[in-house]
Amino acid sequence: MTTATPAASELTPEQRTTYQAPQGQAARDRREARRRRIPLLPALVFTIAATQLPFLATIVISFMDYRALRPDQRGFTGFDNYVQVFTNPAIRQAVLTTILLTATVVIVSLILGTAIALLLDRKFIGRGAVRTMMIAPFLVVPVASALLWKHGILNSGYGLINGVLTWIWSLFGCSNPPQPQWLSDYPLVSIELSLIWQWTPFMMLILLAGLQSKPGDVVEAARMDGAGAWQIFRYITFPHLRRYLELGGLLGSIYIVQAFDSVFIMTAGALGTANLPYTIYATFFQQQNYGLASAQGVVVVIGTIIIATFALRTVSSLFDEETGR
């Protein structure tokens, strides 16, 4: 129908309503284009300065031997730091942990989020109240949530989960309920549990928005034609939800790859839970090896760019649909 190319969107009401001589028109167009850029420039310049410059510096430092404790040795060392990144077993472990943590949390919260969104898409008494309760986990400050899970829920002595286990076992007259040492026996699972609890509401919100934009007449027609609930889900609801699932998965990945708070609070990176953000933080802050930390940072950015390329494509396809192109 329409093409919102820059050239087309360049036409303004004034230009359409006012007659201009051809050669005056070109100069006027340029002036108009310049005038339109003015409100954009402060935000653009600020964003470039604040986000691109530090990253350029990171790239430069990543090729240097730069340790705070040995200022005399500072100098360029080529790819030494990158060789370390790819040969150091601790860093390889951090890459694996990051992938495992991100994938588990994203996939489980997507599945739970879809199921809960389907439940909340129905009419029942107190629907608004349940929705509000569901959002609550996402609105607890991440550091507070990590503390709550570490001390209040997973503590082996008096945490909520082991407390509930004791209570259930005592209902059946048993005196020795299982009391797992969650944080030391299942450290990564503990972190995953707390993150899944926080991120399921996010997925649920995105998928609920998707469900509520589903064309009702198509479902109605399918039902008239005798389609069952499963068939409606499989052939109408699921294809419609697919891009919302993609969007939730990709945005979730981008946020959870960067998860720092819960690892820092719950295990301080011990017991194989150190993911890349935590490892970079430790290389930079504890070992004070700035060159190596920067090389790790560059590697993380490259990994993120790979995810982000897909994410941008998804957002851009939703965006195209929105602007009707």
Partner 1 sequence: MSTHTNSAVAATSFKGPRMKRRTPEQGGHPAWGIAAWAVGLLFAAPVLFMVLTSFHSETDAATNPPSLLAPLTLDGYRSFFAGQPWPPLINSLTASVVSTLLVLVLAVPAAYALSIKPVEKWTDVLFFFLSTKFLPIVAGLLPLYLFANSVGVLDNISFLVLLYTSMNLPIAVWMMRSFLAEVPVEMMEAAQLDGAGLITMLRSVVAPVALPGIAATSLICFIFSWNELLLARTLTSTVASTSPVFLTSFATSQGLFLAQVCAAAVVISLPVLAAGFAAQDKLVQGLSLGAVK
The footprint of partner 1 on residues 4-33 (CB under 8 A) is 4, 6, 8-14, 16-17, 33
245 binds partner 1 (CB under 8 A): no
Query: Quick one: which of 279, 285, 252 has its CA closest to 263?
Result: 279
Angle 74-76-78 (CA atoms, 0-180°, nearest 5)? 140
* Sign of the CA dihedral with 98 first, then 100, 102, and 103 last: positive
- Reported for 62-67, long-range contacts at CB under 8 A and 24+ positions apart, including other chains, are 62/291, 62/294, 62/295, 62/297, 62/298, 63/291, 64/290, 64/291, 64/294, 65/291, 66/289, 66/290, 66/291, 66/294, 67/288, 67/289, 67/290, 67/291
Q: Which stretch binds partner 1 (CB under 8 A): 83-91, 101-109, 181-189, 272-280?
A: 272-280
The distance of closest approach from Cβ of residue 16 to partner 1 in the complex, given in angstroms and rounded to an integer, is 5
Q: Which stretch binds partner 1 (CB under 8 A): 70-78, 84-92, 100-108, 195-203?
A: 195-203
Token readout for 121 is 């898409």
Q: Which stretch binds partner 1 (CB under 8 A): 20-28, 78-86, 102-110, 116-124?
A: 116-124
Using left for φ > 0, alpha for ψ between -120 and 50, and beta otherwise, residue 19 falls in beta
Segment 301-320, which members bind partner 1 (CB under 8 A)?
301, 304-305, 307-308, 311-312, 315-316, 318-319
Nearer to partner 1, 31 or 325 (CB): 325
Using left for φ > 0, alpha for ψ between -120 and 50, and beta otherwise, residue 289 falls in beta
For residues 312 and 305, what is the distance between their CA atoms, to the nearest angstrom? 10
The distance of closest approach from Cβ of residue 323 to partner 1 in the complex, given in angstroms and rounded to an integer, is 6
The distance of closest approach from Cβ of residue 193 to partner 1 in the complex, given in angstroms and rounded to an integer, is 10
For residues 306 and 139, what is the distance between their CA atoms, to the nearest angstrom? 29
The distance of closest approach from Cβ of residue 260 to partner 1 in the complex, given in angstroms and rounded to an integer, is 5
Segment 43-72, which members bind partner 1 (CB under 8 A)?
43-44, 46-47, 50-55, 57-58, 61
All residues at 6 or more sequence positions from 5 whose CB lies less than 8 Å from its CB, including other chains: none
The distance of closest approach from Cβ of residue 90 to partner 1 in the complex, given in angstroms and rounded to an integer, is 17
Nearer to partner 1, 20 or 132 (CB): 132
222 binds partner 1 (CB under 8 A): no
The distance of closest approach from Cβ of residue 311 to partner 1 in the complex, given in angstroms and rounded to an integer, is 7
DSSP 236: I
For residues 36 and 49, what is the distance between their CA atoms, to the nearest angstrom? 21
258 binds partner 1 (CB under 8 A): yes
Nearer to partner 1, 100 or 308 (CB): 308
121 binds partner 1 (CB under 8 A): yes
Position among 210, 245, 269, 273 found at the interface with partner 1 (CB under 8 A) = 210
Segment 141-180, which members bind partner 1 (CB under 8 A)?
141-153, 155, 157-158, 160, 162-164, 166-167, 170
122 binds partner 1 (CB under 8 A): yes
Query: Quick one: which of 297, 280, 288 has its CA closest to 60?
Result: 297
The mark string for 71-110 relative to partner 1 (x by CB under 8 A, - otherwise) is ----------------------------------------
Nearer to partner 1, 96 or 139 (CB): 139
113 binds partner 1 (CB under 8 A): no
Residue 247 CA, distance from chain mean position: 10
For residues 94 and 220, what is the distance between their CA atoms, to the nearest angstrom? 50
Token readout for 196 is 């899944």
